[in-house]
Amino acid sequence: MKHAILIVEDDETLRLTVGAFLRRQGFDIDEAATGEQGLGLAHERRHGLVLLDLRLPDIHGLDVIARLQEIDNDALVVTMTAYPEVRTAVAALKAGAYDYINKPFDLEDLASLIARALETRQLRHEVEWRRAQSDVCGIEGLIGDSPAFQNLVAITHKIAASHLPVLIRGESGSGKERVARAVHCQSARAAGPWVTLNCSALAEGLIESELFGHEKGAFTDAKQQRRGLFELADGGTLFLDEIGDLSLNLQPKLLRVLETQRFRRVGGSREIQVDLRIVAATHRNLPEMVKAGSFREDLYYRLNVGAIDVPSLHERRGDILPLARHFLQDAARTTGIPVPELPATIERSLIEHAWPGNVRELRNVMERAVILCENGVIAAAQLPPEISRAVAPAPTFAPTDLGEVLSLAAIELDHIQRVLALCAGNKTRAAELLGITRLTLRNKLKDTDHDGDHEGETESDAA
């Protein structure tokens, strides 16, 4: 699909030159020599980007920006201005323009700027789509109903409403990035860009250039100016995954951006002002890293103002089956096959598994099971060995005389005791797995004189 770009420029030579160049790049170009002509074209069709000269023969470019926003606030505006008019260009940014480029400019520099602008627009569209796909729990991409999950929902909602930086802690695979996205989508910045960087995926020098951007000639391969992630996330959220892997050299620079919302590009002298929220995540023990001198104490406390702890999957066992069914449906939809059945024996094995890889491991197991499934029913053979070994056939009872027939109450009590043993005597967790309230569980145990004196419960569980 071609991106439509509108060029509003009264200098005919420049307008034709830029238009011809961008057409060769594969863009669909409209051209206007005056502000009113440009606004007329904007009324006729949607443009992903508008290249706008600020000095036009009929109306000022700032007025054009204001009227363009009324026509289509999704279009990004890049202003073209002579170097002495930098103040006017800054005023255009405050009026809603995405960026500016000084005349005369190199066409390749213009192409790079356009590519970044369109990438930002695409990111915004993805954010809006994800918000529309939010699940019924109100936290985008997360599913569950356990007490641990409900606590996570409540904390995330409160912190999202603030403007604080956020530190998300939790085991690998527990869903920290999805919680970070939920913070963004429930915040006042939800309509702004969502930008991510994994701090463990790049070398120190590359991370600095990715975050801060660089000026042309800042280093050997810097053949053109590049805006960094701080600028791309302006007005939105920057998610820094695995913040514990950020080098000590970059940590004070990140702290300064957190405190001042200002920075310089690599090789640049001009300070750039941004308005963004930083959300970081880690599976590492940052307090221990602070003691060891591998993570700055001031940065840790600045990030830790808004802390969210994501529970591991074994801490929210009541969510295992809802998550498993959700992943089955997702995998079936992706592969185009009917959603397979999850037998009770398989459900038991999923609940009993330790899930060291957390939600990510459960997703992978369900996707694999769907691919290998035969006859529309998940079988033990389609599960990894460490899970399939726990699958046992449902107990059968074949009495030889009437005296061996057990009452329903006895069978129910036997099942309750098995689940209690699985939960190490924790009645709250056992009630979740049984699908009953904790009070109902206690009543059933009292009816059979098996309640005991809160044996095996923690102080908080017995409350």
In sequence order, the β-bridge partners of residue 279 are: 166, 239
pLDDT of res. 83: 61
pLDDT of res. 14: 94
DSSP-assigned letters across all residues of 273-289: E---EEEEEESS-HHHH
pLDDT of res. 138: 41
**Rounded average pLDDT per 10-residue block, the chain, 463 residues:** 85 94 92 94 85 92 89 85 73 86 90 88 64 44 81 91 92 92 90 90 85 82 82 92 94 94 88 92 95 95 92 90 90 85 89 91 92 88 83 53 63 78 75 79 71 43 37
pLDDT of res. 205: 76
pLDDT of res. 391: 60
DSSP state of 78: E
pLDDT of res. 6: 95
Cis check: omega of the bond before 356, within 30 degrees of 0: no
Contacts of residue 376, defined as CB under 8 A and 6 or more positions apart, other chains included, come to 338, 340, 341
pLDDT of res. 16: 95
pLDDT of res. 439: 81
Strands 262-264 and 271-273: antiparallel
Tokens of 295: 């993570």
Query: Which residue, among 97, 114, 102, 112, has the nearest Cα to 5 in the 3D structure?
Result: 114
pLDDT of res. 456: 42
pLDDT of res. 10: 93
Buried (b) or exposed (e) across 354-389, using 16+ Cβ within 10 A? ebebbbebbbebbbebbeebeeeebbbebbeeebee
pLDDT of res. 15: 94
pTM to 2 decimal places: 0.57
CA dihedral 443, 448, 449, 450 (to 10 degrees): -80
Long-range contacts of 256-264 (CB under 8 A, 24+ apart): 257/230, 258/165, 258/299, 258/302, 258/303, 259/302, 263/212, 263/230, 264/212
Measured CA to CA, the distance from residue 315 to residue 428 in angstroms comes to 12
Residue ranges of domains in the chain, CATH in brackets? 4-128 (3.40.50.2300), 145-310 (3.40.50.300), 314-388 (1.10.8.60), 402-462 (1.10.10)
